[in-house]
Each structure stands twice: as structure tokens, then as C-alpha cells.
Chain A
Amino acid sequence: MKELICIVCPKGCHLKVDEEKGFAVTGNACPRGAEYGKLELTNPTRVVTSTVRCEGGAHPRCPVKTDRAVPKGKIADVMRALDTVSLTAPVRVGQVVLENVCGTGVDVVATRDLICP
């Protein structure tokens, strides 16, 4: 039995996950908590948010995120890959800035508009 705090929402439910009963989750207030509890012990994942360079926009950095969660072990690789990205304004929210980052099958997308001032 493993105890976890759910990070799916601000509520932060105290979960208990039973590895011997097919990762059965108790203490969750919603189905997403059950999913998180199982995943956290089998293949923990996180959405990575960071910034990339941007030329010609109102700010020199453009915020980005992985459009789905990536394996926790890949976070450092994703950060290194983002160092190589440089955008040119205008940038639109949702625009893909890096496809299939580090072979995860997940795209990195811009999280704001950056227009030329």
C-alpha cells in the first residue's frame, strides 16, 4: 500500500494505492484521482511548462507547454530540447513550436500570443 497526494487539482486528495490489488486507488474524490494514482506508480508523467526564445515580440521569451504529460524521466531532456528552439513573432497560442519532443509523441505548443509591438 502506497500513500500519495493527488496533484490533479488543487484539492490534493490523500490517495492510497494498493499495488497488490491492481493498483486499486482509495481516498480519491473523482475518477481522475484513480487514474493518477495508478499512473504515478506505474509510469509517472508531468506536463512540462517553460519558455523559449522569441525574436521580435513584445517579450524576449514565449511561454510553452507540452500539450500532454510526458514521462517524468524525460523532463530534463525536454528542457534541453527547448533550449534549441527560437521563434519569431508573431506567435499564436496553441502554435506547435516543437513536434514529438524527445520522441515522446507529445508536441510542445505556445501558451500565449506574441505579436510584434
Chain B
Amino acid sequence: MYDLIVIGGGPAGLAAACAAWEGGLRKILIVERDRELGGILNQCIHNGFGLHHFKEELTGPEYAGRFVKLLGETGVEVRLDTMVLEVTGHRQVHMVGKSTGYRVEEAKSIVLAMGCRERTRGAIAIPGTRPAGVFTAGAAQRYVNMEGWMPGKRVVILGSGDIGLIMARRMTLEGAKVLACVEVMPYSGGLNRNIVQCLHDYDIPLYLSHTVTDIRGRDRVEQVVVSQVDASRNPIPGTEMVFDCDTLLLSVGLIPENELTRQAGIEIDRRTNGAVVYENMETSLPGVFACGNVCHVHDLVDFVTAESQKAGAAAAAYVRGGGAAAPDRVLEVKNGDGVTYTVPQRIRPHRVDKLCGLFFRVNRVCGDSEILVKSGDTQIARFKREHLAPGEMERIDLPRALLDRAEGELTVSIREVEQ
């Protein structure tokens, strides 16, 4: 019987395992399906990671390396090349690995850290033929950065999320011509710094409010047709631009990978596509925690690390405390105007130490704004921001004293301040 089984050895799993070890657990197992730890960081060779956590600018592999080294100083057991097939409601973990075969391991606590996967062409139903040369941006990133293959020479990128922007620069540096980055929304889904250093630096045009309306080619992509869209995101006839290219990269969103979570009967939030979690990242199944991109898709790995440390420490506290505690008063956190989701979705005020961090995303770009937190009709907190955007996750910290006074539901909303 393990104290803790962590499913996934990316940044979330590594940080959670290290934190649980620090929290006093000694029988910890990380199960990772790849042949090495580090997850997606291994292919994110660009820099810009770690400014919050390490106070310096690291590349993805360096960031992963730091945590793998920390883990090496603990007694945490790691099983690589091992795929978890099922997690039961009784915290049994079914797994299959090349060297260990089929195993069922039991744990006093579990951290779900499986990350997310990319949306594909099928998910967004792009019309056209089905030639080779259509890749998700992350798959292309793995080919170029880890396996040493160039996916193509003339490239169009659909989606302006950070992975798409990073790949626009990367493909350019490796000698490809990136003809356009196309975004269906009227704003980019990526960080401003990436628009500057990945597109502007290399004179790559960004077409906002545009989308791909046709893929042409028999064996290989030959042309991609891009059209402008109206306010309801429908293509406008007559606005077609034809790009002669051999490759289309898709950076059109990430989906938390929650098959195991659903199968275990854990409550899922339709807004995040991840588990509904409490203030300490515990799911609806006591002793099972979720953190990182499997819980909600993050922009910054430093936030994944912080959230996962919280989950790991909470798993340790759960095991030390001998299992589920008595039911506490619960505050439900609701979306107000302009807010698309919050994590956590539920707060037990008595479990909050001093501050309860609350992550959320907004549904539109705003200038000078206020973030308002209400309990019933009473405003209990207000935070100012100069800028809000859907592509940038927001965080507020709610003091325990405020939560103690709150009743029933908390509503988080935004209000743009009139200029």
C-alpha cells in the first residue's frame, strides 16, 4: 500500500510528489507513460519558464531537470513506460508497464496529474481533403525539437495560442517559411510577449478574426484557404485568401485528459473539463487530488508548480490525518459577469490557512477593470487590474477572515471601469 500514487511525471506530478515527500510521506510512487520524466517541458526548448518559482529564466528542459534533480534527492519511486488504465473509487490504480506487466497498486491518496492533450483537426471540423501535412503544433514541436524531423517548408498556423506562436518562430529559425498565423477570435489567445518575439521579430502576419475554410491537396497539403469571419465566427464569402503551402499546424486549444477521472466517478466541471476541486485541490472523491493542466489549462508552468505543491502537501496532510475529515461548511464559487471559470470551484473556509488563491479566466479583453467578489448580494472583496484578457489566467487571494464571514455562494465577476 502506497501513501500516495501520482499519475503523471510532468511538472505537476513532479512538484506534487516533492511536496508530499516534504510533507512527510515516504511511500510515494510516480507513474509515467513516457520513457522519461518532465512531460511536455522536454519539448518546450524555448526560454521564459521559471521567473516566479526559480527567479530566473529557464528553458523547458532546464525547468524539468531542476525538478527531476530534486526528486532524485527523495526516496520517491518512479515507474516509467507505464500506463495507468483505471483508477477505482477505492483508490486502486490499475497500470501496465513493459518491465512490470499488469499491476494493481493501492494508495491512501492519489494525485491526478495527467496533463492535457491538443485539440485536433477533427475537433474543429475543418473542411477539405485529408492529405498529409496537417499537424497539431505540439506534435510538430516534438518532431522538430526532440526527434530531429522538419514537418514542412511552407507553413500556415491556425490558432494564436502560445504553442502556435512559439512554433511559428521555431519553424522559421529552422528554415521554413511561415506564411501566416490565423486566429478566429478578434484577439490572440497567446501572451503579448510571444506575439512580439515570435511573430513581429520575424515579420509573420497575424490574421485576427480569420479561420481556415479549406484544405486542398491529394497526398500532401498543397493549399490552405483562409477566410475572414463575422462577429458570430461564420466565414464571410468573398474574403478568401489562398496560401500555397505544404503544412498546416493547429494550435486550437487543449483538453484536460480526464478519462481516468471520469471513470473513477469524480465530478467534472463542464467549464474547465477538469475535476471540480476544493481549496486544497481535493476532488469530489476524498483523498484524490488533481493539479496542473488536468485540472484546468494553465498559461505558465510556475502556476502549475504552485498548484501542484498545494495538492501534494494536501495529500500528505490527508494521509497523516488518517483519511477523510468531518464535513465542513462549503462555499460554492460561481461565475459572475465576464468570468468563464474559477478554480477552486468550492472552498471550505475552515481548511484555508491565511489566504485562498483563486484562479479564473475572463471572456473578453478589458482595460482598467475591477474584479468583484460577492457573497449573496454583499460585495466582500474588490481587486483592480489594468488589463484582463482570456489568454491570461487571473489570480486573486481571498483572506480567510473574509471567507469565514461569507455565506452560501461566492460570485466572482469583472467590471470594466469607464474611462
Interface of A toward B, CB cutoff 8 Å: 4-10, 12, 46-51, 53, 58-61, 63, 65, 72, 75, 79, 93, 111-113
Within 8 A of A (CB), among B57-82: 57, 59-62, 64-65
Q: A49-B59, A63-B59 are in contact. Are A6 and B193 (CB under 8 A)?
A: yes
Q: Provided the pairs A10-B51, A111-B59 are in contact, do residues A5 and B201 lie with their beta carbons within 8 angstroms?
A: no
- A14 CB, min distance to chain B CBs, angstroms: 8
How many angstroms between the C-alpha atoms of A58 and B38 in the bound complex? 14
The 9 A-B pairs of least Cβ separation, nearest first, read A12-B192, A112-B61, A63-B45, A7-B193, A111-B59, A60-B148, A61-B148, A5-B192, A111-B61
Is A111's CB under 8 angstroms from B45's CB?
yes
Q: Is B192 within 8 A of A51, CB to CB?
A: no
Expressed in whole angstroms, the Cα–Cα distance for A58 and B191 within the complex equals 32
Contact A79 B196 (CB under 8 A): no
Residues from chain B with a CB closer than 8 A to the CB of A50 are 45, 173-174
> When chains A and B are docked, how far (Å) is the Cα of A26 from the Cα of B375?
38
> Using an 8 Å CB-CB cutoff, how does the interface string of B308-346 with A read, 1 for contact, 0 for none?
000000000000000000000000000000000000000
Contact among B51, B59, B60, B195 with A5 in the assembled complex (CB-CB below 8 Å): B195
Complex-state Cα separation, A63 to B51, whole angstroms: 20
Instruction: List 4 additional A-B contacts (Cβ < 8 Å) besides A5-B192, A65-B59.
Output: A7-B193, A9-B193, A51-B45, A79-B174
Are B201 and A72 closer than 8 Å at their CB atoms? yes
Asked whether A112 lies within 8 Å of B46 as measured between CB atoms, the reply is no
Q: What residues of chain B lie closer than 8 Å to A9, measured between beta carbons?
A: 48, 51, 193
- A60 contacts which chain B residues (CB < 8 A)? 147-148
Interface check B251, CB cutoff 8 A: no
Q: Count the A-B residue pairs with Cβ separation under 8 angstroms: how many?
A: 77
B105 interface residue, CB < 8 Å from A? no
Whether B173 and A10, one on each chain, are in contact in the complex, defined by CB atoms closer than 8 angstroms, is: no
Query: Which of B60, B146, B195 meets A59, CB within 8 Å?
Result: B146
Contacts of A75 in B (CB 8 A): 173
B148 neighbours in A (Cβ, 8 Å)? 51, 53, 59-61
How far apart are the CA atoms of A111 and B195 in the complex, in Å? Answer: 24
Closest-by-CB residue of B relative to A79 is B173
Q: Which residues of A contact B35 (CB under 8 A)?
A: 58
State whether A47 and B36 are in contact (beta carbons under 8 Å apart), knowing that A10-B299, A63-B61, A79-B173 are contacts in the complex: no
B residues within 8 A CB of A79? 173-174
- B179 on the interface (CB 8 Å rule)? no
Contacts of A48 in B (CB 8 A): 173
Interface size on B, residues (CB 8 A): 32
B228 located at the interface, meaning its Cβ lies under 8 Å from any Cβ of chain A in the complex: no
Q: Which residue of B lies closest to A47 (CB)?
A: B47
Residues of A close to B42: CB separation below 8 A: 112
Closest to A10 in B: B191
Q: Is the CB of A10 within 8 A of B300?
A: yes
Docked CA distance A7–B48 (Å):
9
Distance in angstroms between the alpha carbons of A5 and B198 in the assembled complex: 13
Q: Which residue of B lies closest to A7 (CB)?
A: B193
Task: Encode B193-216 as 1/0 by CB contact (under 8 A) with A.
Answer: 101110001000000000000000
Chain B residue with the shortest CB-CB distance to A48: B173
Would A113 and B47 be within 8 Å (CB), given that A49-B59, A61-B147, A75-B173 are in contact? no
A53 CA to B149 CA in the complex, in Å?
12
B-chain residues with CB within 8 Å of residue A8 when the two chains form the complex: 193
A residues in contact with B369, CB < 8 Å: none
- A12 near B147: Cβ-Cβ < 8 Å: no
B145 within 8 A of A: yes
A10 to B42, CA, bound (A): 20
Contact A59 B59 (CB under 8 A): no
Q: In the docked arrangement, what's the CA distance between A7 and B46, Å?
A: 13
Name the B residues within 8 Å of A112 (CB-CB).
42, 61-62, 64-65
Interface residues of B in 167-225 (CB under 8 A from A): 173-174, 191-193, 195-197, 201
| Chain A residues, Cβ within 8 Å of B65 | 93, 111-113
